[in-house]
Amino acid sequence: MAGKAQHHVLVFEINTSFTRYALFADGRMGIPGTFATPNTDVDAFYEALVQVVRKQRAPLDGIAISMPGFIDTKTQTARTAGALKFLAKQQIGVELAARLGQDIPTWLENDANCAAMAEKMSGNAQKIDDFVLVTLDTGMGGALFLDGKLRRGKDWRAAEIGQMIVNYDSAGALPLHDFVSTLTLSQWYAEEFGGEAGEVLPSTLFQRLDDPRVRAIVERWVHYIAVGIFNTVATVDPEVVLIGGSISREPLLLPMIEDALDSIRDWKPFKTAIKRCRHSGNAGLIGAYYAFMEEVGVNA
């Protein structure tokens, strides 16, 4: 008797500068690959995805896509696409299938929501019904699980934590993104020490905290993160806040966030556990796979 055939789902995690992809065979993720995202030309973008699909040896049961922006999951449309503005209003999965000439199921989901799905299904929120996930990268992304369900919002823009206005008196209506971006951390370092912001990798500053000037820069940055977390916790009262993004792997980041929160006068009555995401590196890929399986599934 022949064994049951494996199902294969190809997952793309689209970012502004690079795109990662991995093949999931019966839920087991293969070795991820990476290519530079063609981020100005729509045809070049789709062609890059097409080439990855065509390199797969096994027939695909589906394609899942994680990307930034307000993602309308009902119509599978990227209403916005972060810095990849040329992808706004695109039904990316549908268009990719059309360019492949294949009737292949696809699923498109916001990247922070994918990270939250990964933590809920196999990460640090498996037994938690109410949690907030915060991602730190070129801005502050967010996702909400409330009452055991992903909360997308009526216009697909729930948990846009980075859009909070936190410094109105001195900075006007600039959003939190402008203060907690890792690019901002590099910029503040360049302003203090000279040089170009692109010359310093933000994560390396955590190895130089014994320098008072470096510590002051990092603590200023972390304080803004704490403000965003406090405002969110005070609004939705979660069981835990999970911190994701590549910089979350820095061991000193969470203790610094906790210290910054403790310095906020009203944090004590709202105090909530702050934890690191389990899937910080592959959260987008893993979560997009889970989202596909939950929303679309594969034929047995």
Checking if the pLDDT of 2 tops 60, the result is no
User: In angstroms, rounded to a whole number, what is the distance separating the alpha carbons of residues 128 and 147?
Assistant: 9
Rounded to an integer, what is the distance from CA 158 to the centroid of its chain?
A: 14
Checking if the pLDDT of 83 tops 90, the result is no
**142 & 237 share domain:** yes
**81 & 25 share domain:** yes
**229 & 135 share domain:** yes
What pLDDT digit, counting tens, does each position of 268-299 carry? 999 999 999 999 789 999 999 999 999 999 87
258: left (phi over 0), alpha (psi -120 to 50) or beta: alpha
The residue count for the chain: 300
What pLDDT digit, counting tens, does each position of 57-75 carry? 989 999 999 999 999 999 9
**How big is the CA angle at 213 (ends 209 and 219), to the nearest 5 degrees?**
60
Domain assignment present for 102: yes
Domain assignment present for 122: no
> Which residues contact residue 233 at a Cβ distance below 8 angstroms, ignoring those fewer than 6 apart?
132, 241, 270, 272
Give me the pLDDT at residue 1, please: 41
pTM score: 0.91
Give me the pLDDT at residue 3, please: 55
Enclosing domain of residue 183: 128-276
**261 & 136 share domain:** yes
**102 & 172 share domain:** no
What pLDDT digit, counting tens, does each position of 202-256 carry? 999 999 999 999 999 999 999 999 999 999 999 999 999 999 988 999 999 999 9
**136 & 269 share domain:** yes
Number of domains into which the chain is organized: 2
**85 & 209 share domain:** no
Domain assignment present for 118: no
**What CATH number is given to the structural domain containing 103?**
3.30.420.40
Cβ atoms within 10 Å of 189's Cβ, excluding its own = 23
**22 & 72 share domain:** yes
Domain assignment present for 2: no
Domain assignment present for 1: no
Domain assignment present for 123: no
